[in-house]
Amino acid sequence: MLGTSKKRLEEFEFIHWIQQQAGSGDHLSLGIGDDCSIQPQQTNQDLLTSTDLLIEDIHFKREWSSMFDLGRKSAAVNISDIAAMGGTPQSLFLGIGRPKTISDAQIQEFLSGFLAEIKTYGATLAGGDSCSSPGPLMISVTVQGKVVTGDAICRQGASYGDAIYVSGSLGDSALALQQLQNGQQPDPFLSKRFHTPTPQIALGQELSKRQLATAMLDISDGLLADLGHILDASAVGAEINIADIPLSKSFQQALDGDLTLIDLALSGGEDYELVFTSPLKDLDRQINLQHPVTRIGSISQDSGLCLRQNNGELYHCQQGGFDHFS
C-alpha cells in the first residue's frame, strides 16, 4: 500500500461513502466492503462480463464535460457492451486512479453521475478499487450482466441475405467532438449524444429474447469499423446504402451541403447505437420500441464492405474507425 496511514483513513472514508451511496442489489448476497462481492448464480443464465478503460486526454477531456456527465458516460459506455449482447446489466466494478488535482467534491460528483446512470438500468455498484494517480484521471469499469443461456447475440452469425440494421442516428457524437475540437459549442442534442450517450439495453433485450438478430455489436468505433468486425467474424461481406444511414435533424442541419460530414456518420465513433443483422427484412416494423431501427443494407456473399453512394455507384471501402483524439 503506497499511502500513509492518513491516506488510508481517507480511502476508508471514501469507500465507506461509496458503499452508502451504492446501496445493494437483489442479485447480490454480498456487495461492497469485503474482498469480493458474492452473486449466487441461476441455472438457466449465462454471465456476461466486459471491461473498459478510460484515460483522461485520450478518452475524455475534463474541461469539456462535467464530472457528473463523465460519471454517467463511464457507466454508459460499459453498459453498452451488455446491450450489444442482448443482456441485462447487473453488477459494475469501478476502478479510479485519482490525480491530486481532483477534489473530493469532484470525485463525489463523478460517482453521483455513475450511480445515477447504472440505476436507470437497475444495476448495482458491486466493488472496485481506488488509488492515487501521478498523472491523468484513470477510470476502469467492469460490468457483469445476464442473458438466458444461449440467447447472447455475438459478432459471428451473420449470413448471406441478412438485412443490416442500425438503431437511432449515426454521427452525432463525432460531430459534437469535431465542433468541440474547433472551439464551437455543439447544440444541446449533439452535446447530449456526446457527453451522455444512451446504451440500447431495451432493444438488445428485445432482439435476444425474440431471437431476431443473427449478429450484433454496439457502435463505439464507427459504423464501418464495427460492422467490419461482424463481417470478419461471420466471414461475409456487406453492401450499405449511404442514403439510408439515419441522420438526426441536428446532423442534417450541419450537413447542409458539406458532404464530407457524412464520413462522421460512417466512421465517427461513440454513438453507442446497435448495428445488427437479421434474416427478417421488415424488422424496423416488428420492433415496438420508441427508439427507431433503420435498415441500411444487406449481407453479401463476397467479402468486403461496399457503399452504395447517392449517385448509385458502388464504392469498395477500407475499414476505418474512430481514432480517439489523435
Of residues 112, 251, 283, the one with CA closest to residue 179: 251
DSSP 87-137: -EEEEEEEEEEE-TTS-HHHHHHHHHHHHHHHHHTT-EEEEEEEEE-SSS-
- Burial (0-12, 13-18, 19+ Cβ within 10 Å), 47: middle
Gap between the Cα atoms of 92 and 88, Å rounded: 12
79 binds, among ligand ADP, Mg ion, none (CB under 5 to 8 A by kind): none
Instruction: Classify residue 40 by its DSSP letter.
Output: P
Q: Which range of residues in 19-27, 69-77, 128-136, 210-218 is near Mg ion by CB under 5 A?
A: 128-136
Residue 67 Cβ, how far from ligand ADP at the closest point, in Å?
14
Residue 96 Cβ, how far from Mg ion at the closest point, in Å?
11
Nearer to Mg ion, 144 or 178 (CB): 144
Nearer to ligand ADP, 94 or 153 (CB): 94
Contact flag: residue 8 with Mg ion (CB under 5 A): no
Nearer to Mg ion, 19 or 159 (CB): 19
Nearer to ligand ADP, 21 or 159 (CB): 21
32 binds, among ligand ADP, Mg ion, none (CB under 5 to 8 A by kind): ligand ADP
Q: How much helix, strand and coil, in percent to the nearest 5, is found in the chain?
A: 35, 25, 40
Residue 39 Cβ, how far from ligand ADP at the closest point, in Å?
13
Find cell 468486403 and name the residue: 304
Residues that bind ligand ADP (CB under 6 A): 15, 18, 32-35, 94, 96, 125, 127-130
Nearer to ligand ADP, 141 or 152 (CB): 141
Q: 3-class DSSP state for residue 213?
A: coil
Q: 3-class DSSP state for residue 82?
A: helix
34 binds, among Mg ion, ligand ADP, none (CB under 5 to 8 A by kind): ligand ADP
Q: Which range of residues in 36-44, 127-135, 216-224, 313-321 is near Mg ion by CB under 5 A?
A: 127-135
DSSP 230-267: HHHHHT-EEEEEGGGS---HHHHHHHTT-GGGHHHHHH
The one among 129, 232, 282, 302 contacting Mg ion by CB under 5 A: 129
Residue 5 Cβ, how far from ligand ADP at the closest point, in Å?
14
For 31, what's the count of Cα atoms within 13 Å in the CB-facing half-sphere? 22
Contact flag: residue 7 with Mg ion (CB under 5 A): no
Residue 129 Cβ, how far from Mg ion at the closest point, in Å?
4
122 binds, among ligand ADP, Mg ion, none (CB under 5 to 8 A by kind): none
33 binds, among ligand ADP, Mg ion, none (CB under 5 to 8 A by kind): ligand ADP
Partner residues linked to 146 by β-bridges: 47, 88
Of residues 203, 200, 208, 212, the one with CA closest to residue 277: 212
> Cell for 90?
447487473
125 binds, among ligand ADP, Mg ion, none (CB under 5 to 8 A by kind): ligand ADP
Residue 33 Cβ, how far from Mg ion at the closest point, in Å?
12
Of residues 94, 69, 98, the one with CA closest to residue 11: 98
Contact flag: residue 16 with Mg ion (CB under 5 A): no
Gap between the Cα atoms of 199 and 86, Å rounded: 11
Residue 197 Cβ, how far from ligand ADP at the closest point, in Å?
22
Q: How many residues at the interface with Mg ion, by CB under 5 A?
A: 1
Q: Which residues bind Mg ion (CB under 5 A)?
A: 129
